[in-house]
Amino acid sequence: MITTPVQVVWFKRDLRIRDHAPLCEAAAVGPVLALYVYEPSLLEAPDFDGAHLRQVNAALADLEAQLQARGGHLVTRVGTMPDVLETLALELPLAALWSHEETTQAAAYARDRRVRRWARARGLPWHERPQTGVVRRLPSRDAWAAQWEERMQRPPLAAPPHVVGVDAPSAGILDADALRARGIDVPRDSHPRFVASGEKTARRTLWSFLTERGADYRRAMSGPVLAPDACSRISEHLASGTLSIRQALHAARARQAELVARRADGEPVNAAWFDTFRSFEARLHWHCHFMQKLEDEPAIEQACVCRPYESLRDPLAHRDRRDAWQAGRTGVPIVDACMRYLHAHGWLPFRMRAMLVSYAAYDLWLDWRAFGPWLARQFVDYEPGIHYSQLQMQSGTTGINTLRIYNPHMQGERFDADGAFIRRWVPELAALPADWIHRPHEMPPLVQAMYGFRVDRDYPAPFVEHAVAVREAKARFAAVQRDPAFLTAARGVYRRHGSRAQGPRARGLVRPDPQSPMP
């Protein structure tokens, strides 16, 4: 029988023991019950994928081993969080609940509100600690950048050397089949080839980027050929919390200081590394900048940031176009190649993600809500705050960003000039030469015959002509913007969400396009 009051540390998307304030603080005051809950409302949500579950479980296995090495235990349960806490309160003398703050999707936000009501009714203290640069109840964006820096410059917390663990009945680490057997409809795994990992792998991945892979980061980050190796690839770890933003920032700054010292000592140092550090740190900053938008206005998961755009597109329209886009069968080679690569790997560099959304939003005229949850399931690094903010920015519905419309044919010619990436992922085009592989729909019939290829038989023609679609899209946006209500709404959006890093331009409210938030 346990009589000592127990500190419950609730792990969510923070599956690590380093730089974990709730764990450190709880371990310092009493025995710890480290808890993870498989919650049906999240597992069955439209933005959840079986690959996300595998990612969680791999991180849980690593977390369990690290806790055990320090005297602790990981306890998992299945159910709604208030019900799990109610059961625990009958089993153990609970002293307090500890967790990190989260900026997340509507289902988890509603869950947190239920937990808060339960804790208040029970008189149980709930200590929430920040883990990113997102500021809860932020009064104004004006000082946000300084607050981010003040929070991020604090040294990452070391793992507690010892955890007095509380062992309690546990469900264990449950895969999709085990959860389905309990009546939870876990979606299928979209990325069976994705190799999930935990905290140790997260730190190795970051270090390999900062010491080996990242030297060409700034030049190579955008294209689908070089980016998979040149990018940091820590976004999936930031999303699951096996690595913190602060850990990444301090590691980058320490590595930069090391190279500065080496250069001062006369060692040859590749100057490109310093471009890498600047770009990487900027993206860590933008990561939190976009999450702050969802924190400040949770409604943007479902509603346009700039409300006059609500009627711009019909979420139920063009389902045939949406299905073809999701399948990688649009007739635009680089779009289809990127989509099929995403199906296989669950990841794309930011520019290619933006291009996919741009093509869906402007060429196919799809509403971002029509494909947002589906796209979330494709990304193994799905971060709700970034996802919905970026969907809207790339779809043009923020009211404060210039329209970022990508010409997909030109993107393919720029980042896959010889067509090797397209041939790998759209094999029906493999026989075409570089001169035609980016625009097969423009091939004259005689040239098609030369290569034994025919548009609409071997590969579809595009739904629309890009130039025509862009012209029509701009006209529709211009019509909304002529309404006086638009200017009022856009000014309100800027006051609430706009970056204060640079001065506004164009009628005093349009912002420059920010850099990628994805490291």
Taking phi first (over 0 means left), then psi (-120 to 50 degrees means alpha), and beta for anything else, what does residue 248 get?
A: alpha
Percent helix / strand / coil, the chain, rounded to 5? 55, 5, 40
C-alpha to C-alpha distances, 254 to 211, 251, 259, 305, 510, nearest whole angstrom: 11, 5, 9, 38, 36
Query: What pLDDT score does 72 carry?
Result: 96
The answer to whether the CB of 231 falls within 8 A of the CB of 4 is: no
DSSP string across 68-79: HHTT--EEEEES
Q: Which of 348, 357, 350 is closest to 325 using CA atoms? A: 357
Question: How many Å from the N-terminal Cα to the C-terminal Cα in the chain?
Answer: 48
Q: What is the CATH number of domain 299-509?
A: 1.10.579.10
Q: Which of 141, 163, 155, 143 is closest to 244 using CA atoms? A: 155
Q: And the tokens for 194? A: 């994705």
Count the neighbouring beta carbons within 10 Å of the beta carbon of residue 402.
Answer: 14
Residue owning tokens 């930031």? 238
Domains of the chain, by residue range, sit at: 6-158+165-181, 199-295, 299-509
Q: Is the dihedral of CA 205, 412, 282, 240 positive or negative?
A: negative
Distance CA 418, CA 410 (A): 13
Residue partners of 141: CB distance under 8 A and separation at least 6 = 292, 495, 496, 497, 498, 499, 500
Distance CA 140, CA 149 (A): 16
Residue 443 backbone phi and psi in degrees, to 5: -70, 130
Write down the H helix ranges in 350-419: 350-358, 368-378, 384-395, 408-415
Q: Determine the Cα angle at 181 with ends 176 and 184, to 5°.
A: 65
At 133, the amino acid letter reads: G
Please state the pTM of the whole predicted model: 0.93
Residue owning tokens 């979606």? 187
Residues in the chain: 519
Q: What is the DSSP pairing of strand 32-38 with strand 74-78?
A: parallel
The answer to whether the CB of 70 falls within 8 A of the CB of 109 is: no
The answer to whether the CB of 72 falls within 8 A of the CB of 163 is: yes
Classify 6-158+165-181 by CATH class.
Answer: alpha beta
Query: What pLDDT score does 501 carry?
Result: 59
Count the neighbouring beta carbons within 10 Å of the beta carbon of residue 151.
Answer: 17
Residue partners of 390: CB distance under 8 A and separation at least 6 = 290, 353, 354, 357, 517
- Dihedral angle, C-alpha 402, 405, 410, 415, nearest 10 °: 70
Residuewise pLDDT in 10s, the chain (519 residues): 578 999 999 999 999 999 999 999 999 999 999 999 999 999 999 999 999 999 999 999 999 999 999 999 999 999 999 999 999 999 999 999 999 999 999 999 999 999 999 999 999 999 999 999 999 999 999 989 999 999 999 999 999 999 999 989 999 999 999 999 999 999 999 988 788 889 999 999 999 999 999 999 999 999 999 999 999 999 999 999 999 999 999 999 999 999 999 999 999 999 999 999 999 999 999 999 999 999 999 999 999 999 999 999 999 999 999 999 999 999 999 999 999 999 999 999 999 999 999 999 999 999 999 999 999 999 999 999 999 999 999 999 999 999 999 999 999 999 999 999 999 999 999 999 999 999 999 999 999 999 999 999 999 999 999 999 999 999 999 999 999 999 999 999 999 998 775 433 333 333 333 444 556
Distance CA 432, CA 92 (A): 68
Q: And the tokens for 233? A: 């690839």
Residue 61 backbone phi and psi in degrees, to 5: -60, -40
Residue partners of 90: CB distance under 8 A and separation at least 6 = none
Query: What pLDDT score does 1 carry?
Result: 59
Tell me the CATH number of domain 199-295, given options 3.40.50.300, 1.25.40.80, 1.10.3720.10, 3.40.50.740: 1.25.40.80
